[in-house]
Amino acid sequence: MSYCLNPICPNPENVAYSQRCQSCGSRLLLRDRYRVVEPLGQGGFGATFLAHDQALPGEPSCVIKQLRPSGTAPHVLQMARELFEREAKTLGKIGNHPQVPRLLDYFEEQEQFYLVQEYISGATLQQEVKANGIFSETAVKQFLSEILPLLQYIHEQKVIHRDIKPANLIRRTQDARMVLIDFGAVKNQVTQATNNQFGQTALTAYAIGTPGFAPPEQMAMRPVYASDIYALGVTCIYLLTGKTPKDIDYNPTTGEMMWERLVHVSDHLINVLRKMLDVSVRNRYQAATDVLRALEIEPYLESLAKGLLVKSDNQVKERTHNQHANSGVLWSNPATADTGMGVAQVAAAIRARRAKLTEAAGSDPRGLRQGATAAKSTSLPNSNSTASQPQQSKIGRKLDTQTLLTAYLKGRRDFALHNLNLLNLQGVDLSETNFHSAQLQSTNLQGANLHNSDFGRASLTKANLKDANLSKAYFNHADLEGADLRGADLSHAYLSNANLRGANLCGANLSGAKISDEQLALAKTNWMTVRPNGKRGLL
């Protein structure tokens, strides 16, 4: 179908590849390349459409936003134009982030303004909740751990989004990552527009944002970075309850949303959400990193942000591979959550850190607070970490071979932070196991089945992984220096940021693996090594 963009066209639907609209005669090929096929939605100042770019091979999909304000008064048109130009400039500035749609084109044609963006295939959070039901506490923490770093990035660019809500957050189909869309309401907090005779621009003369999601200071036309944090908090309440702000009662005295009786989560998360949703901007979290600290996942942020995998079978099936701060699941969406490895990895790390702090502080609350403060600046070992800096905690104790295998046979899959150095695990089945940040130096894993296991930030220096099944294993920031990986199956493994200096990859299968040429250059390879592209040979 070809869809007409004339706002007053009585019948905009046309036969595919028509040149002109059968109803109003308007040209259907925008800028001689973009063919609109269907409307996606309409807001106060613009309508969005799905289109195909016929100037490119394969005619890829894109999104076209047309300036279409609801009113025709001069000040409304001026505001709409300002918002439109601001969105284009913002997307051009920050659109290189993988969780923000790229700006592809921006132009004016026949006195109409158009903005062309990358098309994000997937479902919005609003659609997810309606289709699959409300989120668990684990899923909400997973969501926050992924969206808060993005929010921090946006704020570092001096941008306030001003319209964060479930309908503006899409889980991208191909990699299950959250993407924030609709930057039409953004505000640049640094650059001030020229004031008119009334001391306000057309843009600031009206509150921008979605009622209920926007905090009081934003509706009073004084948005700050913390305004986005409030909107994110309201989004979390929607995910936990399925209720929009208009369906929730407010305290008539304080103006606070009365949401706490509607959720069934830990006191810890309630306290975090309570501060995100404080109507007083002074009492609210001021930065996204403040929320991450409160959630106790900031030390693991780098690993979380880079921990995505695409699970491939005969046909590609998307799946996230992030570790998150709560026990439970590795999930791609609330309806298809897998049990076993996943958030339990980081949960174990957090429990270990808490145990360490409690043990160090004893019964002195002041000591505990001091320990917690110090822990905020502590991160998990980087890719160059070795046994000189082991993780010491009650949960990270040394295990022998028999204890480990017995625990695995009884169903245990979480050995994060444990000391497994020098164990003989040759030929054993330890598939889909969590070894996040574990010590496995010089451990014998020859011929072992380690399919889909998590070795994020683990130390595997000089480990024997010859002929091991490491397909779809996760090695983000793992230390594999000097490891023997000859003949190992590393197909579709995630090796980004892993230290492969001196690792022996002769005869290893790396087809579909996430690994850079720079990493491979540090390792030993031969003509039998299967490259990520599926071909054998040296670099």
Q: What is the dihedral of CA 420, 422, 427, 432, to 10 degrees?
A: 20
Look at residue 385 in the predicted model and tell me its pLDDT: 35
Q: Using CA atoms, how far apart are residues 415 and 406, in angstroms rounded to an integer?
A: 13
Backbone angles phi, psi at 520, to 5 degrees: -65, -30
User: Which tokens belong to 131?
Assistant: 């289709």
**The predicted structure's pLDDT at residue 504:** 93
**Which CATH superfamily is 2-118 part of?**
Phosphorylase Kinase; domain 1 (3.30.200.20)
Domains 2-118 and 122-190+205-295 share a fold: no
SS3 517: helix
pLDDT of residue 66: 86
| CA–CA separation, 299 and 323 (whole Å) | 12
Contact 422, 477 (CB under 8 A): no
Distances (CA, A) of 228 to 43, 186, 281, 338, 398: 19, 10, 11, 31, 44
List all residues 6 or more positions away from 2 whose beta carbon is below 8 Å from its beta carbon.
14, 15, 16, 17, 18, 28, 35, 36, 37
CA distance 391 to 385: 11
If residue 235 lies in a helix (H) or strand (E), which one and from where to where? helix 225-241
Enumerate the domain spans of the chain.
2-118, 122-190+205-295
At 137, list the tokens: 């506490």
- Active-site pick, 32, 53, 163, 364: 163
- Please tell us whether the domain made up of 122-190+205-295 is placed in CATH 1.10.510.10: yes
Per-residue pLDDT 10s for the chain (539 aa) are 899 988 889 999 999 888 899 999 988 888 889 999 999 887 656 788 999 999 998 899 999 988 766 666 677 677 777 777 877 887 887 877 889 988 888 887 776 788 898 899 999 999 999 999 999 999 999 999 999 999 999 999 888 888 899 999 999 998 888 999 887 665 554 333 333 333 333 343 345 678 899 899 988 888 899 999 999 999 999 999 999 999 999 988 888 999 999 999 999 999 999 999 999 999 999 999 999 999 986 544 444 444 443 333 333 333 333 333 332 222 333 333 333 334 444 555 555 555 555 555 444 433 333 333 333 333 333 333 333 333 333 345 789 999 999 888 888 888 888 999 999 999 999 998 989 889 999 999 999 999 989 998 999 999 999 999 999 999 999 999 999 999 999 999 999 999 999 999 998 999 999 999 889 989 998 888 999 988 876 54
The response to whether 65 counts as a known ligand-binding position is yes
Amino acid at 294: A
Concatenated DSSP letters for 444-467? B-TT-B-TT-B-TT-B-TT-B-TT
User: Strand locations in 368-416, DSSP E?
Assistant: none
Handedness of CA 174, 146, 102, 180 (dihedral sign): positive
**What pLDDT shows up at residue 366?**
35
Residue with tokens 């929320």: 291
- 190 DSSP assignment: S
For residue 282, what pLDDT is reported?
Answer: 92
pLDDT, residue 396, reads 56
Active site residue 467: no
- Comparing C-alpha atoms, which of 215, 218, 135 is closest to residue 169? 135
What SS3 string covers 85-144?
HHHHHHHHHHCCCCCCCCEEEEEEECCEEEEEEECCCEEEHHHHHHHHCCCCHHHHHHHH
Report d(CA 203, CA 195) in Å as an integer.
10
Structural tokens at position 392: 């010491």
| Phi and psi torsions of 124, nearest 5° | -75, 165
Q: Which of 47, 45, 42 is nearest to 69 (CA)?
A: 45
pLDDT at 151: 94
